[in-house]
Amino acid sequence: MGIFFGTDGLRGKVNEELTYDIAYKIGNALSILKENPTVIIGCDTRISNTYLTLGVASGAMSGGAKVIDIGVCPTAGIAYITRELKADYGVVISASHNSGEYNGVKVFNGEGYKLSDKEEELIERCFIREKINDCFNVGSFTQDFNLVKLYKKFLINSSENSLKGKTIVLDCAYGASHRIAPDVFRKLGANVIASNSTNEGEKINKNCGALYPENLVKRVFRYKADMGFAFDGDADRLIAVDEKGNVIDGDMIIYGLAKYYKKIGKLKSNKVVGTSHTNMAIEQDLKEQGIDLIRTDIGDKYVLAKLIEKNLSLGGEQSGHIILKDLSTTGDGILSAITVANMIISENTSMSKALKIDLYPQTNRNVIVEDKFRIMNSEELSEEIAKRKTMLSGKGRLMIRASGTEPKIRVMVESQDGNLNERIAEEIVTVIKKINVEI
């Protein structure tokens, strides 16, 4: 991980941590790393997107790049279009699940994969120099918003079944999926109830979308729907709600798809990739069914790296990043929703039956801090963690980590004793806050 780039690109408050100048440097770095590259740029609906798009584009063109702006498009769509057009880079202007004052920059290579940590470090090294071509060798800038139709066609073609007869509620978080997701599900025959599905960037992720599934629960009940799907701002996450109003997180989606893929012969090596956050109950249940769970660090790029390394087909995160490796090069909320709907139809079952599992209680706390790395390295916190792990003694898990995209420390405690989880989490949060005050 570099100085500027985190676990999912570069992200921050606009004109504070993320400025036009930084966007310009990222674009210019791409023209340094590759001679006269073709760069695809797309975004979600945030107010600052045009500002930052022009920053990246200007930097890239200064060094001779050909820039194509495709407008509002989900992250996975930008990766797909980059690959289909054989471009050199795809750039996403989005802060994913964060609120509207934040924005970010993610970069994909020509094969549609997010850049590795080392490649992102190379971009950062280019920040100290600038490539400025003479007036006859600057790059070009065009806009082609129709290119998003390539991704839309791919999504429609990915469905093996008609969704006719199914009522599906969508929460598009006022983000990149606001138009394409309802259109795709309607084309597939579903009766679609779309909410938060307008281009209003000031509202993106605000009390809606994948981080607020309780809104989806209400609409599923109201419309007596068969299922509901909620996306985040750039639609690379999926959180679902079944017909009974149960919230289905990424872990549970992976669990259901893993069993289904094994049944139809699509689960390579009978292995699935999760993260250090994946619920222990899922790991144990899959093992009983002959499926091994491989864990990685938090971050969909690490899940993908393991899928590639082991030549596997399915992986993801509790937060809703689901990677269907045989179909996509990155997490794709819309594609995952289509796949879940197809599974339910093919199995002639309901979502509540297909994805049902009793998870271990898990307590999660996020603590905003001044210096997350200094706190993580403090002896006082290390001693507290060791003490609490002893209390769990093989009956559960404790995980403390610094957020890769925000000034936060995340605390997770998991065991079959929910009260114990709460107590341990609260005690660790108290220590973190104490250290934060002393810094």
CA distance 42 to 148: 9
The residues annotated as belonging to the active site are 96
Query: How many angstroms separate the CA atoms of 351 and 290, rounded?
Result: 22
In which band, very low, low, confident or very high, does the pLDDT at 214 lie, cut at 50, 70 and 90?
very high
Q: Is the pLDDT of residue 8 over 80?
A: no
Distances in Å between the Cα of 36 and the Cα atoms of 31, 370, 409 are 6, 41, 41
CA atoms within 13 A on the CB side of 134: 1
Q: Are 314 and 263 in contact, with CB atoms under 8 Å apart?
A: no
- Angstrom distance (rounded) from CA 318 to CA 211: 12
Angle (nearest 5°) at CA 309 between 304 and 314: 45
Helix spans in 63-196 (H)? 75-84, 117-125, 148-157, 180-187
Q: Rounded CA gap, 392 and 427, in Å?
A: 14
**In the chain, % of residues over pLDDT 70:** 98
What pLDDT, on the 0 to 100 scale, is given for residue 385? 87
Section 403-414 average pLDDT: 87
Class of domain 362-438: alpha beta
Amino acid 346: pLDDT: 97
Measured in whole angstroms, the distance separating CA 379 from the mean position of its chain's CA atoms is 33
The closest alpha carbon to 234, from 77, 87, 111, 341, belongs to 77
Question: What proportion of the chain, given as a percentage, has pLDDT over 90?
Answer: 81
Question: 158-354 in CATH: which number?
Answer: 3.40.120.10
Decide if pLDDT at 44 tops 80: yes
DSSP 8-state symbol, 6 = B
d(CA 208, CA 213): 7
- Report the side by side order of strands in the sheet with 314-316: 292-296, 271-275, 314-316, 322-324
pLDDT at 7: 61
pLDDT band of 3, cuts 50, 70, 90: low
Distance CA 116, CA 108 (A): 9
User: What residue type is 150 in one-letter code?
Assistant: L
Q: Which residue has the tokens 């100048």?
A: 21
Least confident of 63-72, 74-83, 209-218, 352-361: 352-361
* 10-147 against 158-354: fold identical: yes
Q: Is 336 helix (H, G, I), strand (E, B) or coil?
A: helix
pLDDT tens digit string along 356-405?
A: 898 899 899 999 988 898 889 988 989 888 888 888 877 888 989 888 77
Of residues 261, 259, 264, 310, the one with CA closest to residue 285: 259
Contact predicate 258/322, CB 8 Å: no
**Which range (171-175, 217-221, 256-260, 384-388) has the least confidence?**
384-388
* pLDDT over threshold 90, residue 413: yes
Question: Averaged over 229-249, what is the pLDDT?
Answer: 97
Rg (CA), the chain: 22
Whole-prediction pTM: 0.89
pLDDT of residue 391: 85
- Residue 66 near residue 38 (C-beta atoms within 8 A): yes
Tell whether the model's pLDDT for residue 407 goes beyond 90: no
Beta-bridged to residue 315, according to DSSP, are 273, 323
Q: Where are the domains of the chain?
A: 10-147, 158-354, 362-438
pLDDT (tens digit, 9 = 90+) per residue, 100-158? Answer: 999 999 999 999 999 988 898 999 999 999 999 999 999 999 999 999 999 999 999 99
Strand 271-275 with 292-296, pairing: parallel
* Mean pLDDT computed over every residue of the chain: 94
pLDDT of residue 189: 98
**pLDDT level of residue 5 (50, 70, 90 thresholds):** low
More confident residue, 298 or 154: 154
Q: Does domain 10-147 have CATH number 3.50.50.60?
A: no
| Token output for 154 | 């791919």
Give the mean pLDDT of 187-195: 98
